[in-house]
Chains A and B, each alone.
Chain A
């Protein structure tokens, strides 16, 4: 991960305090530099003031003695002034006459009287009144003594300025400590504040994550942060979204129900036909029994005819009941369910004079993981669609293969192919647009059933024209073969 990536991946509640702390450090660095700069200029001004006063006092005290070249008086004045000007911390003073010859110095062993002033004394002065040598922590100043406009001598002074540097360092340390403490304090404060501010987001985040898992819950009013209007608005928005989603699911379930009824309706006429067809024969057989019931042979034939007819009606009714009775829908899927479906689709096939190619490979027992109801409904819808799509006299295929870990069901037609937007309902990630347009509700049911069972839908083309819809349902391994028929 790049540095930037690493940085942005730090959570907000740490990033903000970190930024605050960095900002504080930057501000305090600038501020401290300004303060220290100002301090050193103030100190220099103060030092110049004090040095000026010192030199004033000293020069007025020694001027008469310098004019008389009175070595002792000059020395005495320097010696006595060292005590009274303690605030200036004079380290050394040297007084020379007009010719640059030393009259007296505070340390005569170093700079003897009547000697020439060492050259480094003249060379050490800069532009201002006081020149500071930072390495030696000493300040230098000089004052030319004049009487009636003529030079009579010079005072050379050295001061100890280490108190100045000590003061600067002390202030720097104070600044650093204070600013450091403030930075830490503000960073902590920022951290707490940010945490408080994003707490509503945390609540929202948790709810969203739960929603992504499938079961969206609205945020209870008790979890709304008090006095936070923005967050409350956000939560209300989220709750509205959840409610809308719930309404949609409710609507979808409602639609599914209605689709069931719709497909029931579609079958109704076929079923009526299917029940009606034997009825004529049954009544004929009854008439025959009424007139020729005494004859044994006629009686047996008629009875078996009636029995067969009634059995047929019973099968159809039972098949319908199995599809449309909710309590039966959770029974595990068996090959018998497919037989029922074949029965149910027969009226439609007969009406359009179509054939059904039937191929079931199911050698094991029922699969408990798959409830029969939804699967029957879905396959019935697909079969009805295949019938509608295939022209009169065409062929529809149905195959079901229960293999080791999955059940593969294929329904084929001889139609012109499923339109892409309708096909999208089955295979697109988001089947939304077509459904919202109100079309393909039956396929939407198939899609829902497959999504619930975590199955796969495949669309293909048949060799001789037409489409194949393949449903692949995973079978739970431990269930397979656990139940005998």
Chain B
């Protein structure tokens, strides 16, 4: 609960608009914990709920259909895909056991490691690693991130590693904060939205998931080519698939793990992976998230 409060303070100075959600969030966290006890008992009767954050997948219904049918076949039960607008909602559902697994970002995992187990990690371009990009309009000359001072900046989600934390930490390293460095900043709740914001000129720069940017450069070149990358971060742990610790012994979670790891061997699975431009899923290593944890700590210390 201490961690919760700190995060609450922190979120305040990022954006005043989060106020509505904050009260909901604490309620959810409190209530979720209560429900969590009840949920383990009744978990076997419901369908398997798998949560997805609005990375960029939610738009692609074909992909969702293929994923659902693959998982249903491999887990042996009907799978329900749960999507929400914000990372926070999915994280809350996961932590409280209302969903049985979710593909979340490294940042919420680090925040709730005590309540979550890692199930698997995607492998992209041979590694379960990705980068955070700072992007700007295509024609803009900016050699270094410092040229982005005074911009209207677009973040993706306050719980996003690549879409918020990395930039926050970078600024903190240099004794800066988003309020002092940027003239204005706002959240778009989607990596594709960050690209849209920068491409349209609504924001002069943005923080976006590098994997998403690279894949969309193939799938939506007209949009993405209106932006350019100003800075690539270090390689960080790819957003993992996690499950609540309360379901640790659940055979379905084990089947989920198997399904993901062997996805690249399966014809239907490969179709999903192709759409995601992923090689496959690999066993998760908790140490890959240490760098993210360090950033969390850095930001916390900088106040």
Contacts and interface: CB of A to CB of B under 8 A. Distances in A.
A76 interface: yes
A104 B202 contact: yes
A113 interface: yes
Interface in B188-229: 188-189, 193, 196-197, 200-202
Contacts of B6: none
A75 interface: yes
Nearest to B154: A72
Given A69-B17, A71-B186, A104-B202, A112 B193 contact: no
Given A72-B186, A72-B188, A109 B201 contact: yes
A70 B200 CA distance: 17
B223 to A, nearest CB: 12
B184 interface: yes
Contacts of B187: 72
Given A75-B197, A75-B200, A79-B200, A113 B17 contact: no
Contact of A114 (B183, B193, B201): B183
A432 interface: no
Given A69-B17, A72-B189, A76-B193, A114 B200 contact: no
A72 B183 CA distance: 15
Contacts of B186: 70-72
Interface in A53-85: 68-72, 75-76, 79
B276 interface: no
Contacts of B14: none
B152 interface: yes
A108 interface: yes
Contacts of A107: 200-201
Interface string B6-40: 00000000000100100000000000000000000
A147 to B, nearest CB: 15
Contacts, number: 40
Contacts of B193: 72, 76
Interface string B129-154: 00000000000000000000000101
Interface in A104-118: 104, 107-109, 112-114
Interface string A323-364: 000000000000000000000000000000000000000000
A107 B200 CA distance: 7
Nearest to A104: B202
Contacts of A69: 17
DSSP class of B's interface residues: helix, strand, loop or mixed? Answer: mixed
Contacts of A104: 202
A90 to B, nearest CB: 15
A81 to B, nearest CB: 14
A72 B197 contact: yes
B17 A70 contact: yes
A79 B201 contact: no
A75 B17 contact: no
Contacts of B188: 72, 76
Contacts of A114: 152, 183-184
Interface string B269-299: 0000000000000000000000000000000
Interface string A417-453: 0000000000000000000000000000000000000
Contacts of A108: 200-202
B160 to A, nearest CB: 14
B139 to A, nearest CB: 11
A275 B227 CA distance: 149
Interface in B122-178: 152, 154
A104 to B, nearest CB: 6
B202 A113 contact: yes
Contacts of B20: 68
A79 B196 contact: yes
B183 A71 contact: no
A431 to B, nearest CB: 108
Contact of B201 (A70, A72, A112): A112
Contacts of A70: 17, 186
Contacts of B196: 76, 79
A347 to B, nearest CB: 137
A107 B201 CA distance: 7
Interface of B: 17, 20, 152, 154, 183-184, 186-189, 193, 196-197, 200-202
6 contacts: A71-B202, A76-B196, A79-B196, A108-B200, A113-B152, A114-B184
Closest 10 CB pairs of A and B: A109-B201, A108-B201, A108-B202, A72-B188, A71-B186, A75-B202, A72-B186, A68-B17, A114-B184, A108-B200
Given A76-B188, A76-B196, 15 more contacts: A70-B186, A71-B184, A72-B187, A72-B193, A72-B197, A72-B202, A75-B200, A75-B202, A104-B202, A107-B201, A108-B200, A109-B200, A113-B152, A113-B184, A113-B202
